[in-house]
């Protein structure tokens, strides 16, 4: 399973890259706006820093506008994947971008039916938003599981990128289902790593060793 970091923050990206856990990055307009400054500079820095796919999202809502923006976004680096919203105009753009060999990530996906369409049109990634579904008392992971079945049924190569991750159990459940990627906020990635018994155990080992050396 691949780990992408769901952020536009350079410090977070650098830290996770140094841990050896960074397979890619996903951004969206909200995440880039949080960083302030010139979004173009920020996007270029992220693309240069990451040795893997970087999702940058279009703002246009017409197919023509999305295609125009996609052409601009891919100039930031060879690793750019263009994020396209799951709306009818997005699907029109998706078909054309796929035909032109531009990699896409269909975002704001909330149902297996939407994912079926994205897979059929050749999206490189599909992003089901599990946390936002759970927040509406719907089962986000059930949607991921259904997408896995559909894509396996038809041999779609579209990669399932589990998004809107809120906690470590989302990552574990995604891995159990066989999702290809989880895009994880920095805080959740840190939660995955830590366990109080690890810290307690290490402290005890070090204390015992210190005592032994002092004897």
CB of 137 to ligand G3P, least distance (A): 16
The nearer residue to ligand G3P, 9 or 26, going by C-beta atoms, is: 26
CB of 78 to ligand G3P, least distance (A): 21
Contacts (CB under 6 A) with ligand G3P, residues 146-175:
163-164
Are 37 and 87 in contact by the 8 Å Cβ rule? The answer is no
Separation CA 91–CA 123 (nearest Å): 10
- Smallest CA-to-CA distance from 143 within 106, 109, 104 is with 109
- Smallest CA-to-CA distance from 110 within 94, 91, 134, 92 is with 134
Contact window for ligand G3P (CB under 6 A) among 72-80, 85-93, 129-137, 187-195: 129-137
Catalytic residue among 83, 92, 96, 210: 83
- How far from chain centre, in Å, is Cα 122? 18
Binding residues for ligand G3P, total number by CB under 6 A: 9
Kindly tell me which residue out of 159, 183, 188, 189 binds ligand G3P, with binding defined by CB under 6 A: 183
Kindly tell me which residue out of 9, 28, 145, 146 binds ligand G3P, with binding defined by CB under 6 A: 28
- Smallest CA-to-CA distance from 121 within 143, 92, 152 is with 92
Kindly tell me which residue out of 129, 143, 147, 171 binds ligand G3P, with binding defined by CB under 6 A: 129
Are 12 and 185 in contact by the 8 Å Cβ rule? The answer is no
Does 12 bind ligand G3P (CB under 6 A)? Our answer is: no
3-state secondary structure 28-71: CHHHHHHHCCCHHHHHHHHHHHCCCCEEEECCCCCHHHHHHHHH
Number of CB atoms found within 10 A of residue 44's CB: 14
Does 105 bind ligand G3P (CB under 6 A)? Our answer is: no
71 is catalytic: no
Contact window for ligand G3P (CB under 6 A) among 17-25, 33-41, 43-51, 125-133: 125-133
The nearer residue to ligand G3P, 163 or 174, going by C-beta atoms, is: 163
Does 26 bind ligand G3P (CB under 6 A)? Our answer is: yes
Place of tokens 């780990």: 3
Are 51 and 16 in contact by the 8 Å Cβ rule? The answer is no
CB of 144 to ligand G3P, least distance (A): 13
- Just list the catalytic residues: 83
Q: Which residues bind ligand G3P (CB under 6 A)?
A: 6, 26, 28, 129, 131-132, 163-164, 183
């Amino acid at each position: 399973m691949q780990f992408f970091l769901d952020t536009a923050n350079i410090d977070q990206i650098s830290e996770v890259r140094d841990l050896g856990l960074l397979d890619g990055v996903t951004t969206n307009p909200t995440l880039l706006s949080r960083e302030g400054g010139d979004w173009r500079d920020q996007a270029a820095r992220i693309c240069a820093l990451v040795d893997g796919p970087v999702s940058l999202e279009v703002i246009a809502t017409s197919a023509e506008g999305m295609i125009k923006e996609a052409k601009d976004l891919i100039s930031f680096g060879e690793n750019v994947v263009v994020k396209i919203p799951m709306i009818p105009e997005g699907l029109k753009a998706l078909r054309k971008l796929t035909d032109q060999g531009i990699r896409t990530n269909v975002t704001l996906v909330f149902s297996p039916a939407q994912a079926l369409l994205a897979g059929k049109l050749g999206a490189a990634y599909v992003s089901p938003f599990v946390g936002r579904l759970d927040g509406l008392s719907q089962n986000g992971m059930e949607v991921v599981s259904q997408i896995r079945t559909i894509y396996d049924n038809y041999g779609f190569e579209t990669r399932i990128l589990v998004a809107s991750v809120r906690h470590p159990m989302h990552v574990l459940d995604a891995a159990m289902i066989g999702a290809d990627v989880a895009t994880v906020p920095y805080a959740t990635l840190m939660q995955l790593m830590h366990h109080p018994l690890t810290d307690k155990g290490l402290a005890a080992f070090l204390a015992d060793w210190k005592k032994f050396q002092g004897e």
